[in-house]
Structure 1
Amino acid sequence: MTIQKPTSITRTELHALVWREPRSKLAGIWGISDVAIGKLCVKECIPAPPPGYWAKRAAGGRVSTTPLPMRLPGQRELIELRAVNYYERWNAPVDLESEITPPTYIETVEEVVQSAFVRLGPFRAKRDLSDPHHGLRRVLLSESKRAEKIKERDWSFDKPRFLEPRFQRQLRLFSSIFFILDSIHASCEVVQKETWIQGVGHIHHLIASVSIGGSSVQLQFLEPENPKGNNDLPRSSVTTLRVGSSGKGGNFVDEPGAKIEKRLEDIVKAILTLAETKMRSADFSIYERKLERRNQMLEAIAERKRKEEAMRLAAIKARKEAIRKEIADAAANLRRAQDIRSLVAAMAGHPDCVGEQSANYLSRTSRNQTSNTMPLHS
């Protein structure tokens, strides 16, 4: 079977390829490294042959294929082998000859979430930041630099921003969630945000971003210390972890005997569920966008045909008018010709035009140029 370089491939097709041909061979055909193919398999949750598999197979040994597991939440079945962002999908060309079908999924949201959930690491909350997740690296590095400046100068306008217990707890919880999601190769990072509030000044806060497949989910803490009346930094009477923008994935509140640290399983499940629902919602929005663009294209084609038909009818009407004018002009010319013939016939019978008097009549007529009529005598 000939293997060609694709622009996209399904998870099922890629799984079959990496178990049928060595990655080195695929890399030569696709123009990428075998390491890149291996990373793609890891990212798309596709099991690849273990070391020694091909040697054992070449020697006639007995080998087995690891079946393809269910995709991760937020992960599409179709894999793009080049970077394709949401706006490219949104404005992708529409083929009028092919049918546009709504997105369908074999698995339910609950099945996809449960399949990923059983692969996750231990649900343990970190007690400190002695071994933080690498997703906290940028925030902790900037904090460390600010602390160093204070040590060197004994003062600094740019002091560490997240030394308060509430921020340290947020960082520990984010780190705990990130370590759990490492088992499914989610991309996680904490970023610091700055918000200006009138009468208060600059307020710094933390937001975590979790990317699974093509979906991104934000995590943010709402604290009682947050100032009132700010949409970027909402306030809550008790510490609350909000999953998704505006809490679309749920709000997890500190309760007596049920701190947020004890609810990591529910939080992670909410993240996975929101990632899958966001992906499906995006797919359906793109489907509706394709229908809209298809209708716009059909309307444009219909409008162009209407204009062409109007121009055709106008040309026919103009041609008919020209023909009518030609007929009318011909009729007028015919009438004038008939009048001239009648006049000539009448003049032929006039006494002055008979015999020798004809020359005298013509002579008198030539001298009387101002006369437009000729009296006829009986």
Structure 2
Amino acid sequence: MSYRHREDVPKRQLVPEDLNELHAQELKAIGKVSVPQALGRPHKGLLQLLKQEQRRRDKSAEREWTFDEPKFDNPVSKRRLKIFNALFLALSKRGHDGDAYEHDGEIHARAAIGDTYLGLDIGIVGSHRTVRQHGYVRPAPDLPASTPLALRIDPGFDRKNTVSWQDDGDAKLESKIAEIAAGIIVAGEKKFRLSLREAEERAERERIEKEKQRQERLAQLNQKRLQTLRNSGELLRQAEDIRAFVERVRRAIDEGSTDIDATALEAWQRWALAEADRIDPVRSGQILTHLNEPSL
């Protein structure tokens, strides 16, 4: 049996490598979960949404009509909230979390398995009556609480690779909370492992790209080194040509074939040899620009 620690959950909690084993472990640890008939003690992940609903309810009581009326006072929405609440409490029992919020009149929820987030959704199964409210098509508010529902885990918040449970005869979602919570924990672990592999693959791609860029840069530096070497060869030839020319002129004067003022000749010779030294790659130090192998 192989176990490992996860960095984003308490270290005392061991996670089996086998996901089926993890599911069985979590299902056993969660145990039996009941869904209270009322939200008397809601999970903290629902508090903000419920407070917002209560403010709407209070405004509606004060006025005959208000645009911002309660959005989840209908039987189906109340059932959704109770299921989410039971699910969040079950996850909390295992050191995880969940929360829900309202957006455009809909309940949006997610689970947090360690530092890994997964989308959660409870929708109506099959055809049902709808109404248009504030520009949106919504389930009819008078649909009964017995309306068939399905809960879906959306790991990537993109409706891909989803896992779902639904009302099935007498087996309602409320009787499957422990199973769903264990499934969410497994899905979170699976996503976490996938993220590790993706991070490793991304790091490898970055390493390969950096090495490619390094090799390209070294190739550029070596090309520059080669060009500088060629320049050194050309400069050395020019310096040697000047020195050879000065020597030839000196011999010609010594042989008496040319009548040149000695002082002027001496000055010219010093100047010419100084120019040769100036362009000589060894004496000028220009050779140092390509003496050592390029490095980054």
Which TM-score applies when normalising by structure 1? 0.54
Query: Could you give the per-residue CA deviations for residues 308-342 of structure 1, whole angstroms, max 9, x where no partner exists?
Result: 32222222110101122234445555666677788
1:156 aligns with 2:66: yes
Farther off after superposition, 284-293 or 137-146: 284-293
CA contact (8 A) 1:249 1:270 kept: no
* Separation in 1, partners of 2:249, 2:138: 95
Match of 1:44 in 2: 10
Match of 1:287 in 2: 200
C-alpha change, 1:11 and 1:255, in structure 2 (3 Å) is: closer
CA contact (8 A) 2:48 2:101 kept: yes
- Same amino acid, percent of matched pairs: 22
In the alignment, residue 208 of structure 1 is paired with which amino acid? A
In the alignment, residue 242 of structure 1 is paired with which amino acid? R
Match of 2:144 in 1: none
Match of 1:207 in 2: 108
Match of 2:46 in 1: 136
**Structure 2, unaligned stretches of length 5 or more?**
140-146, 260-296
Q: CA deviation at 1:183?
A: 1.7
In the alignment, residue 116 of structure 2 is paired with which amino acid? S
CA contact (8 A) 1:122 1:180 kept: no
Query: Could you give the per-residue CA deviations for residues 272-324 of structure 1, whole angstroms, max 9, x where no partner exists?
Result: 11111011011111111222232233333333332332222222110101122
In the alignment, residue 54 of structure 2 is paired with which amino acid? S
Q: Specify which of 311, 316, 340 is matched with residue 224 of structure 2.
A: 311
Query: Could you give the per-residue CA deviations for residues 79-111 of structure 1, whole angstroms, max 9, x where no partner exists?
Result: xxxxxxxxxxxxxxxxxxxxxxxxxxx622222
**Structure 1, unaligned stretches of length 5 or more?**
1-9, 15-39, 47-68, 72-105, 195-203, 348-378
Query: Could you give the per-residue CA deviations for residues 136-194 of structure 1, whole angstroms, max 9, x where no partner exists?
Result: 21111111111111112232221111112221111011112122223212222111122
* Separation in 2, partners of 1:226, 1:342: 119
Q: Specify which of 26, 37, 54 is matched with residue 127 of structure 1.
A: 37
Q: CA deviation at 1:206?
A: 0.7
Match of 2:209 in 1: 296
Q: CA deviation at 1:119?
A: 1.3
Match of 2:179 in 1: 266
C-alpha change, 1:247 and 1:179, in structure 2 (3 Å) is: farther
Farther off after superposition, 294-303 or 152-161: 294-303
In the alignment, residue 177 of structure 1 is paired with which amino acid? L
* Separation in 2, partners of 1:124, 1:190: 20
Q: How does 1:182-261 map to 2 (within 5 A)?
A: 182-194=92-104, 204-223=105-124, 224=128, 239-244=149-154, 245=157, 246=159, 248-261=161-174
* Separation in 1, partners of 2:219, 2:166: 61
CA contact (8 A) 1:170 1:221 kept: yes
Q: How does 1:6-155 map to 2 (within 5 A)?
A: 44=10, 46=12, 70-71=14-15, 107-155=17-65
Q: CA deviation at 1:218?
A: 1.7
CA contact (8 A) 1:249 1:271 kept: no
Query: Could you give the per-residue CA deviations for residues 185-221 of structure 1, whole angstroms, max 9, x where no partner exists?
Result: 2222111122xxxxxxxxx111222112121222112
* Separation in 2, partners of 1:144, 1:326: 94
Q: How does 1:317-336 map to 2 (within 5 A)?
A: 317-330=230-243
CA contact (8 A) 1:222 1:241 kept: yes
Match of 2:75 in 1: 165
In the alignment, residue 307 of structure 1 is paired with which amino acid? Q
Match of 1:278 in 2: 191
RMSD value, Cα: 3.6
* Separation in 2, partners of 1:330, 1:134: 91
Query: Which protein has the bigger strand share?
Result: 2
* Separation in 2, partners of 1:227, 1:295: 56
In the alignment, residue 215 of structure 2 is paired with which amino acid? A
Farther off after superposition, 123-132 or 312-321: 123-132
CA contact (8 A) 1:70 1:112 kept: no
Count of equivalent residues: 239
C-alpha change, 1:313 and 1:291, in structure 2 (3 Å) is: same
Match of 2:143 in 1: none
* Separation in 2, partners of 1:161, 1:278: 33
C-alpha change, 1:285 and 1:308, in structure 2 (3 Å) is: same
In the alignment, residue 101 of structure 2 is paired with which amino acid? V
